[in-house]
């Protein structure tokens, strides 16, 4: 007969329904416990770095990279910007319409029209397309390479090779479009003096404007007080403070809009951060930033002169501060944006938790991958490092598995915590030299994670950790004794 005496000890008190769930072979998790299991605790006052990519803004209407040049792009831009020639004359006006149509058609032709064939001048050509590039990233890299200007003094075959190769991949398809549509004058009009290379240069500049437009269109008329934005507002209210750094690879201004006065948007590593504010580091630039004409720094008057849509309004495309895939992105990150990278790497080296929120290390972004992973490897001063990956419900898709593999291989000599310890909290290492980590891939979208995130779940209390350490040790001891004792029949 069992004793009716009330057992003592933290683990002895079970939540209602736990015994029944155990008899049925299921684990019982209370609502309060579920929150902490999803988002494990850390040291008090811990520093958190949020690394956000396109998946962060997707629920708000932001596009993913693969959606930028689909056939519907023309109609989407027409609907969103309503042919506002006065507001965005360089994006979609009568003169640029053929180039925009060319940009999108050439991309789809080079992928064998994966979304269906596109009509030209009301007729659908019989061409099946060719396999010229695998995705948007490769297309942008080729456009960028073809548009790069090389000084005449450096005109050697070795240096001209990559550019000529890129032009050779684009030229036949561009000419095919121009011939079929009757727009040959775009590339041979003596009055305008344009060559096929000039057209490709225009397409490269236009591609960046289209990216800026597509990545910002969802912000037109955005209501940050609406239900759609609620998870993001909760995240700002519950999480963001001086211990948090947001590292963004997005061009849009969703974070700035929702965070308002709780975040400082930095454009260099020499700016002071107001007390109590989180930091926003936009490592690939912004649609609202422009470069100084004669200096390698952000123009501080960009937003005053053009508002939030500077990249869609400035006439000189060279002043746009958008680090799109290709060699020009490296040039920006090594000059104008270098100070922001210095701050981002330092924040990662000192972080207690790093959250990858809708960011997957795109294959073409080798510089970002190298710098961020090196900063994680150099994070040796903290006893415990929590790594979170949030890329969607399917944690077994290639992108999610690749990110986990990259992070797992980068934590250096840290020891991974057992799942039980990870769920219940982080123990304080007995040996000061011990270093631990946990990597959790969350099967949810960014907005789901933001709905759960809070200071309690991301940055917990030391008391909770000491309790979880004691409870874990007690539980492990009981399990070991049970394993040695034959079960009663």
What percentage of residues in the chain have a pLDDT greater than 70?
72
Lowest mean pLDDT among 93-102, 133-142, 188-197, 348-357: 188-197
Lowest mean pLDDT among 117-131, 366-380, 430-444, 464-478: 464-478
Average pLDDT over residues 423-446: 74
Lowest mean pLDDT among 126-130, 262-266, 299-303, 367-371: 299-303
Q: How confident is the model at residue 428 (pLDDT cuts 50, 70, 90)?
A: low
pLDDT for 391 beyond 90: yes
CA–CA dist 397, 399 (Å, integer): 6
pLDDT for 196 beyond 50: yes
CA–CA dist 125, 70 (Å, integer): 17
**What's the pLDDT score for residue 218?**
87
Higher per-residue pLDDT: 189 or 388: 388
Q: How confident is the model at residue 333 (pLDDT cuts 50, 70, 90)?
A: very high
Average pLDDT over residues 223-237: 94
pLDDT for 340 beyond 90: yes
CA–CA dist 59, 448 (Å, integer): 10
Average pLDDT over residues 21-25: 42
**What's the pLDDT score for residue 300?**
79
pLDDT for 52 beyond 50: yes
- The H-assigned helical ranges of 53-111 are 54-57, 73-81, 97-109
- Domain ranges for the chain, please list them: 40-61+223-284+323-473, 65-214
**What's the pLDDT score for residue 161?**
53
Lowest mean pLDDT among 209-213, 219-223, 303-307: 303-307
Average pLDDT over residues 147-171: 62
pLDDT for 472 beyond 80: no
> What integer best gives the mean pLDDT of the chain?
77
For residue 336, how far is the Cα from the chain centroid?
20
**What's the pLDDT score for residue 42?**
41
pLDDT for 107 beyond 90: yes
What percentage of residues in the chain have a pLDDT greater than 90?
40
CB-based contact 147:205 (threshold 8 Å): yes
Average pLDDT over residues 122-146: 90
CA–CA dist 375, 345 (Å, integer): 6
Bridge partners (DSSP) listed for residue 385: 437
Lowest mean pLDDT among 219-223, 274-278, 415-419: 415-419
**What's the pLDDT score for residue 92?**
54
Residues sharing a CB contact under 8 Å with residue 416, sequence separation 6 or more, in sequence order = 436, 437, 438, 439
Average pLDDT over residues 339-353: 96
Lowest mean pLDDT among 128-142, 195-209, 211-225, 454-468: 454-468
- The H-assigned helical ranges of 131-229 are 136-147, 157-181, 185-188, 196-214
The two tokens of residue 25 are 């072979």
**What's the pLDDT score for residue 184?**
60
DSSP letter assigned to residue 83: T
**What's the pLDDT score for residue 262?**
95
| Closest C-alpha among 252, 226, 219, 223 to residue 56 | 252
Q: How confident is the model at residue 349 (pLDDT cuts 50, 70, 90)?
A: very high
What are the backbone dihedrals phi and psi of residue 354, each rounded to the nearest 5 degrees, phi first?
Answer: -130, 125
CA–CA dist 389, 444 (Å, integer): 10
**What's the pLDDT score for residue 418?**
56
CA–CA dist 24, 47 (Å, integer): 41
Average pLDDT over residues 267-282: 94
**What's the pLDDT score for residue 228?**
95
Average pLDDT over residues 10-16: 43
**What's the pLDDT score for residue 477?**
43
Lowest mean pLDDT among 252-256, 304-308, 417-421: 417-421
- pTM of the predicted model as reported, rounded to 2 decimal places: 0.80
**What's the pLDDT score for residue 98?**
83
Lowest mean pLDDT among 5-14, 33-42, 279-288: 33-42
Cα angle 171, 102, 78; round to 5: 165
CB-based contact 364:325 (threshold 8 Å): yes
The two tokens of residue 316 are 């000189």
């Amino acid at each position: 007969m069992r004793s009716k005496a009330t057992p003592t000890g933290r683990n002895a008190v079970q939540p209602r329904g736990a015994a029944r769930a155990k008899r049925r072979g299921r684990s019982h998790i209370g609502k309060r416990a579920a929150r902490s299991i999803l988002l494990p605790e850390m040291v008090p006052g811990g520093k958190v770095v949020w690394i956000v990519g396109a998946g962060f803004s997707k629920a708000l209407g932001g596009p993913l990279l693969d959606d930028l040049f689909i056939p519907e792009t023309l109609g989407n831009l027409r609907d969103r910007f309503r042919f506002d020639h006065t507001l965005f004359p360089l994006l979609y006006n009568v003169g640029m319409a053929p180039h925009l149509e060319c940009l999108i058609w050439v991309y789809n032709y080079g992928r064998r029209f994966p979304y269906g064939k596109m009509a030209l001048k009301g007729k659908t050509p019989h061409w099946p397309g060719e396999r010229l590039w695998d995705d948007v990233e490769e297309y942008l890299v080729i456009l960028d390479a073809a548009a790069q200007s090389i000084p005449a003094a450096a005109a050697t075959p070795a240096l001209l090779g990559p550019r000529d190769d890129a032009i050779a991949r684009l030229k036949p398809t561009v000419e095919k479009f121009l011939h079929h549509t009757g727009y040959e004058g775009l590339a041979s009009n003596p009055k305008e003096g344009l060559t096929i290379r000039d057209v490709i240069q225009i397409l490269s500049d236009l591609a960046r404007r289209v990216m800026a437009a597509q990545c910002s269109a969802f912000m037109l008329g955005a209501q940050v007080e609406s239900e759609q934005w609620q998870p993001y507002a909760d995240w700002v209210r519950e999480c963001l403070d001086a211990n948090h750094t947001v590292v963004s690879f997005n061009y849009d201004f969703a974070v700035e809009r929702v965070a308002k006065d709780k975040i400082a948007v930095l454009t260099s590593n020499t700016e002071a951060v107001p007390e109590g504010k989180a930091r926003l580091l936009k490592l690939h630039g912004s649609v609202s930033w422009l470069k100084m004409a004669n200096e390698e720094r952000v123009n501080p008057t960009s937003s005053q002169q053009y508002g939030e849509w500077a990249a869609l309004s400035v006439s000189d495309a060279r002043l746009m501060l958008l680090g799109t895939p290709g060699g020009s992105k490296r040039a920006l990150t090594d000059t104008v944006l270098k100070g922001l990278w210095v701050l981002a790497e330092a924040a990662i080296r000192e972080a207690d938790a790093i959250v990858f929120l809708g960011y997957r290390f795109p294959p073409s972004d080798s510089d970002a991958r190298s710098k961020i992973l090196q900063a994680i490897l150099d994070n040796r001063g903290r006893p415990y490092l929590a790594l979170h990956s949030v890329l969607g419900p399917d944690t077994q898709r290639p992108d999610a598995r690749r990110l986990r593999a990259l992070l797992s291989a980068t934590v250096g000599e840290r020891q991974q915590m057992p799942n039980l310890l990870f769920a219940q909290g982080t123990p304080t290492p007995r040996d000061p030299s011990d270093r631990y980590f946990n990597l959790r891939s969350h099967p949810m979208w960014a907005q789901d994670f933001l709905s759960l995130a809070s200071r309690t779940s991301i940055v917990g209390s030391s008391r909770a950790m000491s309790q979880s350490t004691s409870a874990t040790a007690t539980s492990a001891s009981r399990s070991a004794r049970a394993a040695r004792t034959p079960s009663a029949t």
